[in-house]
Amino acid sequence: MTLSPTQRRGLIGAALLSAVLIAIGVLATYFGSRYQIRIVYGAYVNLLVVIGLQIFMGNARITNLSHSAFMGIGAYVAAICVTPAATKAISLPAAPFGLNAFSLDPVTSAIIAIAITALITALVGLFIVRMTPIGATIASLAVLVIIHSIFLFRTDIFKGNQAFFGIPQVFSLTSIIVVAVIVVVLARGFRESRWGVQLRASADDETGAAAMGVNVARLRLIAWILSGIVLAIAGISYAYFLGTISARPFYFNHVFLTLAMLILGGMRTVTGAVLGTFVISFGLEVVRWLETGPVVVGIDLPEVLGLSGVVLGLVIVLTMAFRPQGIMGDREIEDIFSKTK
């Protein structure tokens, strides 16, 4: 397979981003406390979500608000498959279809979770990709609410807002760094592929791209499903580390958080997705600390509950107002190091 110069640059960019991801991970592993490692792990889970979001939003330039729900599907399917039958007999006594009577190894469970998430995204995608961008965004919001309602009220399968516990904790920070590197290469590869370029062209000028024989709906569907697969991987990584999941983390707050990350960093590039995730993940830790009313250089700051929500909202508003293309705009990481004319 021959690569175009742009694709070769993409590979270099993906390698640079991977180096950053590995560096952050190694620093956290060797110098971080248990608590800090959890924070960094959480940042990597969100990184997978934001990259999953970027694959569709950044290339098709259609806002998606249902992504956290697809992450949830991945997490729940993997959890149901992998949790030992003995645990499920206690936690899901009334589960239908014999869901509490079997258990599989983590790899098989993950594959099943990805396959089922891909199937559901494909079905939803068939409708989404034929809508206008605004229609698709509103429909995606409805999909989020539908899936969340199912998680919440089919307590016999998902346990709703109670903890679904007993998931084997097979993932470490190292595992998710490996996964993140693979996903970054995948996302960058898609962006620079023929499909990615055609999809971005259709976002620029749908009629123009169509006149060139670009099948816009098909390309959107491909990106949508690929995005769903990455979201499933994010959900699985989340479940395999924490060991417990519930419906709440796969809803509005998480949609909003990850959306803010992508918007701040810049949705058009994979670099933007990575940058936005880390800036907000680590920035929010500082904000949460300020929320508690700490003493800084002798000044006793007041307790400000809800500050993180305000800050997150402000990030979206201010970015949209002053730099709608995000910090990175159209630049990928390699463009920073080699100036384009």
The dihedral region occupied by 256, where left means phi > 0, alpha psi between -120 and 50, and beta the remainder, is: alpha
Indicate the residue among 12 and 182 with the shorter CB distance to another protein.
12
Indicate the residue among 111 and 214 with the shorter CB distance to another protein.
214
Residue 94 interacts with another protein (CB under 8 A)? no
| C-alpha–C-alpha distance, residues 56 and 268, integer Å | 10
Indicate the residue among 108 and 215 with the shorter CB distance to another protein.
215
Indicate the residue among 139 and 197 with the shorter CB distance to another protein.
197
Indicate which single residue of 268, 275, 278, 328 sits in contact with another protein (rule: CB under 8 A): 268
Find the binding residues for another protein in span 179-218 (CB under 8 A): 194, 197-198, 200-201, 203-205, 207-215
- CB count within 10 Å of CB 63 equals 19
Indicate which single residue of 4, 108, 174, 253 sits in contact with another protein (rule: CB under 8 A): 4
C-alpha closest to that of 269 among 335, 314, 209, 316: 335
Indicate the residue among 6 and 36 with the shorter CB distance to another protein.
6
- The two three-digit tokens of residue 279, written as one number: 């800036």
The contacts found for 330-334 with CB under 8 angstroms, 24 or more apart, are: 330/268, 330/269, 331/269, 331/271, 332/9, 332/10, 332/13, 332/188, 332/269, 332/270, 332/271, 333/13, 333/16, 333/17, 333/20, 333/271, 334/9, 334/12, 334/13, 334/16
Find the binding residues for another protein in span 315-334 (CB under 8 A): 330
Residue 337 interacts with another protein (CB under 8 A)? no
- The two three-digit tokens of residue 19, written as one number: 């180096």
Interface with another protein by CB under 8 A: which range of 3-11, 52-60, 83-91, 134-142?
3-11
Indicate the residue among 34 and 341 with the shorter CB distance to another protein.
341
Residues near another protein, by CB under 8 A: 2, 4-6, 194, 197-198, 200-201, 203-205, 207-215, 268, 330, 340-341
